[in-house]
C-alpha cells in the first residue's frame, strides 16, 4: 500500500512539474482564421406603431415591450400629426392609393414607417435607427507572415477601421493576447477560452471599454469581412429590374464593353477596400448592380454629403410652391431673430448658401452638433471672413441654413415635405434623415437610403426633372443648378453649381462632362448627360484619404474607358 501511495505521489509531483509553472502559450493554429462578434448595437425606441383613425380623436399608439405610449393625432389639412416629449413626433398622410405614409421622429432621427392597414387601423414595425453603430460587426483575422510570426488585422462591416488604428504586433502569453496598435486613444486585448473556442475581445476607446465574444468563422461565412467569397468565381448576370421605372439590360445592349467588369477582380484581391456597391445605368436601363461586404439592395446606406445635392433639388421643388423664394432671397429674412446688427450678414442670400460662399467663418461640424442646440444660430453667429459671394469655402453649416428657409416657405416639417413632395412621387418609401434639436431637417448629410434609390436622382436630373413622364422639379431649375455658378477649391479650379460638382473627366484623348454628388467615405452619384448614364457608388472609407476616392479611380480606370460612345 505504501509503495502504491508513493507511486501516486510521484506521478502527482511529475504532473505538477509539467503544468504547475507558467501556463502554456496558445499555438498559432488555435487562433489562425477570422473571428467575429457584434461590437456595437443600437435599439429601436419602440417595437411597433399603431395609427387608429377609427377613434375621435385619432390616436398614435407606440409599443415597446410591455409599455405603451399614446399620443392624440390632430389633422392639419391633409397631414396627420402627433407630438410627444423630447422631440418625439409623427407626421403622416394618405397617398393617392389611400395608403397611410408616415415618418416617426425620435432622438433626432426621422425615419419612414411601412404601414399595413385594416379598416382605418394602421400598423407598422418601428426599426432601430440605421447609424454607424447599428449591427456593427468586428472582424479579427490572425495570420502568419512570411517569417512565421503571428500577425493580426482588425476590420468591420460598417467602416474601414484603418481610420482608427492598425495592429502592429501580437504577443501571446498563456491564454492572453496583447496587441500593439498605432493609436493610443484606443486599446485592444483578448483572452482565449479553449473550452468554448471563443475569444473575449476587450475594446477600449474614449467612451470606455467593452468586452465582446468572438467566434471563429468558417470560410464560407467571411462575406462581411471579405468583399466576396474567395472560392466562388464571378459571373456577370443582368441585374433584376427594381420596377417599371428602370428596366434591366445586358451591358452590350447599351454599348458598354465587358472590360468594365475587370474592376471586380481588383476588388476581390483587396485593391479597393470597403467598397459597398456599384450601380450603372445607361440609356435609362440598369446594366450593373453589384454589392460587397454583405451589403444588398435593400440596405439603407448613409450617403453623407451627397445629400447636399438632393437638398438643391428639394429647394427647386420648394420654389415651385413659393414663387417668392429665389436665389436672391436673403437668408436672415427667414431667421429674423438671428441677424444681430451686422449689416453685411443681411446680404447673405439663398444663392450664397447654394454655392458655399456665405462668407461666414467655417464651423466645426462636430462641435456645432454636439455642443449647440441651434445649429443655424451657431452658424449665423460666426464672424464674416469674406464678403458674401466672394469666395468658395465648403461648409455643411452653410448648407444647413437652407433648412429653415424651406420649412418656412412651405409651412411643412422638412422631412415630411421631402417625403410627400419629392421622394414618394419617385417611389422612394424608405429613408432616414437627421434632424436638429430645433426640429429642422439636416440638409448637409446623414441621410440614409437604398443605393438603387440613390440612382433615381441621377435619372431625375437626366430627365430634366421629370419622373414617370410628369414634371417633379422644374426643368429650368435643373438646368440652372447644374450649370457653373462658382469656382470650386477641390478639385482646384473646377466648376460648382448649386450644391453640384461639375467636372470634365478624361476618357482617352478626350473629356466628358459630369454632374456629381459627393459624400464622405466614398458615396458618389456620377451623372453623364452626354452618354445618358449614371454611376452610383457607396463605400465605408469615412474620413480616410485617398481611400474615400477609390470609386473615382474605378470610374476613370475601368468604367469610362469601357463605354463605347457613339
Q: What is the CA radius of gyration of the chain?
A: 28
In tens, the pLDDT along 332-379 reads 999 998 977 788 999 999 999 999 999 999 999 999 999 999 999 999
pLDDT reading at 3 higher than 50: no
Share of the chain above pLDDT 70, in %: 95
Are 322 and 190 within one domain? Answer: no
> Which residues are within 8 A (CB) of 453 and not within 5 positions of it... i.e. 6 or more apart?
426, 428, 430, 431
CA-CA distances (angstroms) from residue 473 to 293, 425, 462, 470? Answer: 35, 11, 12, 9
Q: Are 32 and 143 in contact (CB under 8 A)?
A: yes
Task: Identify the pLDDT of residue 499.
Answer: 99
Segment holding 266, helix H or strand E:
helix 262-268
Spatial distance between the Cα atoms of 461 and 428, rounded to a whole number of angstroms: 16
DSSP code at position 258: G
Asked if residue 338 belongs to a domain, the reply is yes
Are 140 and 71 within one domain? Answer: no
Asked if residue 314 belongs to a domain, the reply is yes
E strand residue ranges, 24-76:
33-40, 48-52, 59-64, 67-72, 74-76
Residue after which a domain boundary falls, among 71, 95, 125: 125
In tens, the pLDDT along 35-46 reads 999 999 999 999
The whole-model pTM stands at: 0.94
Give 139's strand partners. Answer: 36, 155
Grid cell 426599426 in the structure block, residue: 127
Q: How confident is the model at residue 24 (pLDDT cuts 50, 70, 90)?
A: low
Helix (H, G, I), strand (E, B) or coil at 235: coil
In tens, the pLDDT along 320-336 reads 999 999 999 999 999 99
Asked if residue 352 belongs to a domain, the reply is yes
In tens, the pLDDT along 451-484 reads 999 999 999 999 999 999 999 999 999 999 999 9
Locate 466 and state its grid cell. 421629370
DSSP 348-391: -BHHHHHTT---BPPP-HHHHHHH-S-HHHHHHTSPBSS-TTS-
Task: Identify the pLDDT of residue 339.
Answer: 73
Task: Identify the pLDDT of residue 468.
Answer: 96
Q: Are 60 and 121 in contact (CB under 8 A)?
A: no
Task: Identify the pLDDT of residue 83.
Answer: 97
Q: Are 403 and 440 in contact (CB under 8 A)?
A: yes
Share of the chain above pLDDT 90, in %: 89
Mean pLDDT (the chain) is 94
Spatial distance between the Cα atoms of 556 and 534, rounded to a whole number of angstroms: 14
Helix (H, G, I), strand (E, B) or coil at 164: coil
pLDDT reading at 310 higher than 90: yes
Are 341 and 477 within one domain? Answer: yes
Spatial distance between the Cα atoms of 214 and 198, rounded to a whole number of angstroms: 6
Locate 13 and state its grid cell. 509531483
Task: Identify the pLDDT of residue 231.
Answer: 78
Spatial distance between the Cα atoms of 454 and 537, rounded to a whole number of angstroms: 9
Q: What is the mean pLDDT of residues 436-448?
A: 97
DSSP code at position 220: G
Residue after which a domain boundary falls, among 221, 246, 277: 221
Work out the number of other CB atoms within 10 angstroms of the CB of residue 183: 12
Burial class of residue 491, CB neighbours in 10 A (0-12, 13-18, 19+): exposed
pLDDT reading at 312 higher than 70: yes
Asked if residue 319 belongs to a domain, the reply is yes
Task: Identify the pLDDT of residue 100.
Answer: 98
pLDDT reading at 139 higher than 80: yes
Q: How confident is the model at residue 14 (pLDDT cuts 50, 70, 90)?
A: very low
Sign of CA dihedral 24, 25, 28, 29: positive
Asked if residue 272 belongs to a domain, the reply is no
Locate 276 and state its grid cell. 459597398
Spatial distance between the Cα atoms of 155 and 242, rounded to a whole number of angstroms: 32
Asked if residue 108 belongs to a domain, the reply is yes
Spatial distance between the Cα atoms of 199 and 212, rounded to a whole number of angstroms: 8
Expressed as residue numbers, the domain containing 76 is: 48-125
Spatial distance between the Cα atoms of 278 and 267, rounded to a whole number of angstroms: 11
Q: Are 57 and 74 in contact (CB under 8 A)?
A: yes
Are 188 and 332 within one domain? Answer: no
For residues 8 and 392, the model is more confident at: 392
Are 216 and 350 within one domain? Answer: no
Task: Identify the pLDDT of residue 564.
Answer: 80
pLDDT reading at 8 higher than 70: no
Segment holding 517, helix H or strand E:
strand 510-519
Are 86 and 145 within one domain? Answer: no
> Which residues are within 8 A (CB) of 468 and not within 5 positions of it... i.e. 6 or more apart?
245
Are 100 and 180 within one domain? Answer: no
Segment holding 478, helix H or strand E:
helix 475-481
Spatial distance between the Cα atoms of 359 and 385, rounded to a whole number of angstroms: 6
Asked if residue 517 belongs to a domain, the reply is yes
pLDDT reading at 421 higher than 60: yes
pLDDT reading at 125 higher than 50: yes
Q: Are 510 and 526 in contact (CB under 8 A)?
A: no
Percentages helix, strand, coil for the chain, rounded to the nearest 5?
A: 25, 35, 40
| Domain harbouring 35, CATH code | 2.40.128
Q: Are 192 and 177 in contact (CB under 8 A)?
A: yes
Residue after which a domain boundary falls, among 66, 99, 125: 125
CA-CA distances (angstroms) from residue 371 to 74, 368, 374, 375, 385? Answer: 33, 6, 9, 9, 23
Are 339 and 211 within one domain? Answer: no
Spatial distance between the Cα atoms of 137 and 37, rounded to a whole number of angstroms: 6
Terminal CA-CA length for the chain: 101
In tens, the pLDDT along 242-279 reads 999 999 999 999 999 999 999 999 999 999 999 999 99
| Domain harbouring 320, CATH code | 3.40.710.10
Quote the number of domains for the chain.
3
Grid cell 476607446 in the structure block, residue: 205
Q: What is the mean pLDDT of residues 51-73?
A: 95
Task: Identify the pLDDT of residue 376.
Answer: 97
Locate 107 and state its grid cell. 432622438
Spatial distance between the Cα atoms of 501 and 294, rounded to a whole number of angstroms: 30
pLDDT reading at 12 higher than 90: no
In tens, the pLDDT along 154-189 reads 999 999 999 999 999 999 999 999 999 999 999 999
pLDDT reading at 49 higher than 80: yes
The candidate with the shortest Cα–Cα distance to 379, out of 340, 329, 328, 434, is 340
Task: Identify the pLDDT of residue 6.
Answer: 40
Asked if residue 269 belongs to a domain, the reply is no
Q: Are 37 and 224 in contact (CB under 8 A)?
A: no
Are 410 and 550 within one domain? Answer: yes
Task: Identify the pLDDT of residue 11.
Answer: 40
Are 430 and 388 within one domain? Answer: yes
Are 174 and 309 within one domain? Answer: no
Task: Identify the pLDDT of residue 22.
Answer: 52
Are 403 and 322 within one domain? Answer: yes
Amino acid at each position: 500500500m505504501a509503495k502504491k501511495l508513493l507511486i501516486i505521489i510521484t506521478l502527482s509531483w511529475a504532473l505538477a512539474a509539467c503544468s504547475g509553472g507558467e501556463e502554456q502559450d496558445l499555438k498559432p493554429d488555435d487562433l489562425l482564421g477570422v473571428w467575429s462578434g457584434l461590437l456595437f448595437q443600437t435599439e429601436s425606441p419602440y417595437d411597433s406603431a399603431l395609427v387608429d383613425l377609427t377613434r375621435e380623436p385619432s390616436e398614435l399608439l407606440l409599443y415597446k415591450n410591455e409599455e405603451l405610449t399614446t399620443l392624440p393625432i390632430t389633422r392639419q389639412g391633409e397631414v396627420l400629426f402627433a407630438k410627444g416629449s423630447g422631440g418625439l413626433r409623427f407626421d403622416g398622410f394618405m397617398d393617392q392609393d389611400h395608403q397611410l405614409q408616415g415618418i416617426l421622429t425620435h432622438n433626432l432621427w426621422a425615419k419612414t414607417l411601412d404601414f399595413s392597414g385594416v379598416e382605418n387601423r394602421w400598423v407598422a414595425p418601428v426599426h432601430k435607427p440605421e447609424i454607424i453603430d447599428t449591427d456593427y460587426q468586428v472582424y479579427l483575422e490572425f495570420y502568419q507572415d512570411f517569417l512565421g510570426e503571428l500577425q493580426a488585422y482588425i476590420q468591420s462591416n460598417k467602416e474601414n477601421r484603418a481610420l482608427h488604428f492598425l495592429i502592429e504586433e501580437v504577443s501571446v502569453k498563456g491564454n492572453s493576447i496583447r496587441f500593439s496598435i498605432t493609436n493610443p486613444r484606443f486599446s485592444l486585448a483578448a483572452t482565449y477560452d479553449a473550452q468554448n473556442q471563443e475569444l473575449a475581445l476587450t475594446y477600449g476607446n474614449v467612451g470606455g471599454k467593452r468586452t465582446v465574444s468572438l467566434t471563429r468563422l468558417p470560410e464560407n461565412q467571411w462575406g462581411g469581412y471579405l468583399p466576396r467569397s474567395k472560392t466562388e468565381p464571378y459571373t456577370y448576370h443582368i441585374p433584376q429590374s427594381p420596377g417599371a421605372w428602370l428596366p434591366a439590360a445586358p451591358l452590350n445592349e447599351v454599348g458598354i464593353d465587358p472590360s468594365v467588369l475587370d474592376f471586380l477582380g481588383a476588388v476581390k484581391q483587396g485593391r479597393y477596400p470597403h467598397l459597398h456597391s456599384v450601380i450603372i445605368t445607361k440609356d435609362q436601363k440598369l446594366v450593373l448592380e453589384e454589392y460587397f461586404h454583405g451589403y444588398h439592395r435593400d440596405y439603407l446606406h448613409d450617403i453623407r454629403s451627397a445629400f447636399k445635392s438632393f437638398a438643391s433639388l428639394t429647394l427647386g421643388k420648394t420654389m415651385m410652391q413659393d414663387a417668392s423664394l429665389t436665389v436672391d432671397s436673403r437668408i436672415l429674412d427667414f431667421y429674423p431673430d438671428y441677424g444681430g446688427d451686422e449689416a453685411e450678414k443681411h446680404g447673405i442670400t439663398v444663392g450664397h448658401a447654394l454655392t458655399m460662399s456665405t462668407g461666414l467663418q467655417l464651423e466645426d461640424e462636430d462641435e456645432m452638433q454636439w455642443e449647440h442646440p441651434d445649429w443655424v444660430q451657431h452658424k449665423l453667429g460666426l464672424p464674416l471672413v469674406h464678403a458674401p459671394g466672394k469666395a468658395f469655402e465648403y461648409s455643411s453649416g452653410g448648407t444647413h441654413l437652407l433648412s429653415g428657409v424651406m420649412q418656412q416657405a412651405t409651412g411643412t416639417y422638412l422631412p415630411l415635405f421631402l417625403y410627400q413632395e419629392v421622394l414618394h412621387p419617385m417611389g422612394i418609401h424608405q429613408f432616414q434623415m437627421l434632424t436638429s434639436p430645433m426640429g429642422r431637417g439636416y440638409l448637409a448629410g446623414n441621410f440614409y437610403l437604398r443605393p438603387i434609390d440613390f440612382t433615381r436622382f441621377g435619372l431625375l436630373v437626366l430627365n430634366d426633372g421629370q419622373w414617370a413622364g410628369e414634371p417633379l422639379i422644374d426643368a429650368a431649375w435643373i438646368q440652372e443648378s447644374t450649370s457653373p455658378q462658382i469656382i470650386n477649391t477641390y478639385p482646384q479650379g473646377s466648376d460648382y453649381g448649386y450644391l453640384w460638382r461639375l467636372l470634365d473627366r478624361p476618357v482617352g484623348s478626350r473629356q466628358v462632362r459630369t454632374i456629381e454628388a459627393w459624400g464622405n467615405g466614398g458615396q458618389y452619384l456620377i451623372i453623364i448627360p452626354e452618354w445618358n448614364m449614371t454611376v452610383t457608388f457607396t463605400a465605408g472609407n469615412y474620413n480616410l484619404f485617398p481611400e474615400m476616392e477609390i470609386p473615382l479611380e474605378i470610374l476613370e480606370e475601368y468604367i469610362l474607358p469601357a463605354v463605347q460612345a457613339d
